[in-house]
Structure 1
């Protein structure tokens, strides 16, 4: 197949068998599906037009995806970037034609996201005609993952399936599993969260070493549909690092921290449910984590020696790794009231 644009080629994932019970769905950059699907939908609907500027905030993966989508469809792109956006990613964004503002360094996930949201609102107030993509809140970002789900169904439709991945904006895991459950309601979804994220109640636990970009939040994301998740895992930086290093060492897969965290969580789930196939979402490559993770590989913990604390409710959370049966429970009303 000859693709009309590089984005159409880059979006396609590879399926890699890790063990009998674990398969990795490995993306070059997962959110290309989300950005392409959303932009195409907005163009078809007439909400945006070629030449218009699309704006959003990102910790890296979505910024690259949106820049590619804008390049493909003849749109301008403006990114308010997290401090986790590295030099390599920023350079690619700028060459692709995106304008990039990076917020000042901050020590917490909460401050980083608050600064980005504040700046987005300032831009919208002063630049009429700019369209905010709202990757965290607009459910059009679910649409692109339907194609991925159909690929998964075609590959594994005859085996009980559990999907394991970072929660983040909610669109990737949510979009995949809603589509998969249309044909098999028994598909399980296991979400992965960092400590410090408000999404599933870990905001009072501070991970001192690092922000795990893209899988947690200090603000409420409307695209997270809590009732889709069967179980949750909360992991700190050291455990995500252990998973990422082990994935490279044992399986030659160079992937980011969210993939490392999902790999570790999926291993635990597979030991508990050996009858099921566990699909690990590998959202991106490991390039932006070279200095903070892979150059320190000798410090990585041995995954075989790690196991989570099993809890019954978020109030029992304890670092560095906790897990809980969520059982497709809707977002608690008290959490919504607190966010409001």
Structure 2
């Protein structure tokens, strides 16, 4: 029997789903949604807090402030509530309602940014708010997931080695890019320890991370309106850009095969299948950041999809070929 002392220590052992029966591809999906915070961001949050504690920046009873589109906020909320810290989560209007409810339940102060920066969107507006709040109150501790090397190291030391051990014959790994911590940690680990494995970054259309033109994005998680300081594009073997409506389409198709996946998972799996389509039989893995529970009123809501994504001025892509999984008719 395993007994832990804090809720944020609750985590399932490394868990991979073979998507072959759903997609017809040897694609192993590392499921990160089975922990106390419901996403891979618990790894990041734990590393950020531990580093701040070890360096003396975070002391008992302190107040943490961080910008988040959702999942990191929940993860920090879980840790803060467990450890006696106050937590201020700076998010924006794209944050899912279910995520906001969880943040409030955890006792976090939630600051909602409703006006984007005129050039760099909501992320820049959130960062500007955090900086102004910290300037006004020096007692706040900003963990800064966007620049902290603890973000990258969490996945260099934990996520990537677990994948290498579980899939020793791996040919290619697909990783979504948000702040860049997960992607950079994995790419640098495989480059140093298993250089034959290719690492492909998956980004969302409208994100500026890899030079795409900035456009309005509606799904939180992947992508950025500001160049992520942690990201070095040269460490990746390739990049795939996925429109948001294709992320939704892929989520719905995965659901048709019994997997209820989050929006970022739909983006990564869609990108992986398109990249693999004309490259023969390869052993592939991808990281699923979270599951579907926080997307019930967005990705899996036909009205929301019609209102937000149906009229996006983005190129249509051919339907992905899934193994016997039909696409629900109402998804455009």
> Would the TM-score normalized by the shorter structure come out above 0.5?
yes
Cα distance between partner residues in 1 of 2:118 and 2:295: 18
Q: Which of 31, 37, 54 is equivalent to 1:26?
A: 31
Aligned partner of 2:322 in structure 1 is none
Shift of 1:202: 0.9
2:102 paired with 1:95: no
User: Is 1:214 aligned with 2:225?
Assistant: no
Query: Gaps spanning 5+ residues in structure 1: where?
Result: 301-317, 323-340
In 2, the alpha carbon distance for the partners of 1:198 and 1:179 equals 24
The residue correspondences of 1:1-340 to structure 2 (distance < 5 A) are 1-10=2-11, 13-19=14-20, 21-28=26-33, 29-104=39-114, 110-145=120-155, 146-157=157-168, 159-204=169-214, 206=215, 210-250=217-257, 252-296=258-302, 319-320=315-316
Asked if the contact 2:268/2:287 (under 8 Å) is kept, the reply is yes
**Inter-partner Cα distance in structure 2 for 1:51 and 1:273:** 54
* 1:144 match: secondary structure: helix
For residues 226 and 117 of structure 2, the distance between their equivalents in structure 1, rounded to whole angstroms, comes to 16
Change in CA separation of 1:155 and 1:50 when aligned onto 2, cut-off 3 Å? same
Number of aligned residue pairs: 300
Displacement after TM superposition at 1:188 (Å) = 1.4
Cα RMSD over matched residues? 2.5
Question: Whole-Å Cα distance in 1 between the matches of residues 83 and 13 of structure 2?
Answer: 18
Q: Is the 8 A contact 2:174 2:201 kept in 1?
A: yes
Cα distance in 1, alignment partners of residues 292 and 238 from structure 2: 26
Normalising by structure 2, we get a TM-score of: 0.82
TM-score, with length taken from structure 1: 0.81
Deviation (angstroms), 1:167: 0.8
CA distance in 2, matches of 1:272, 1:219: 32
The Cα of 1:10 is off from its aligned counterpart by 3.8
Contact 1:21 1:274 in 2 (8 A): no
- The structure-2 alpha-carbon separation of the partners of 1:236 and 1:107, relative to structure 1 and needing over 3 Å to count, comes to farther
Task: Give 5+ residue unaligned stretches, structure 2.
Answer: 34-38, 307-313, 319-332
Distance 1:52 1:11 in 2: 29
Deviation at 1:288, TM superposition (A): 2.6
Q: Deviations over 1:74-100 (max 9, x none)?
A: 322111012122232122212222111
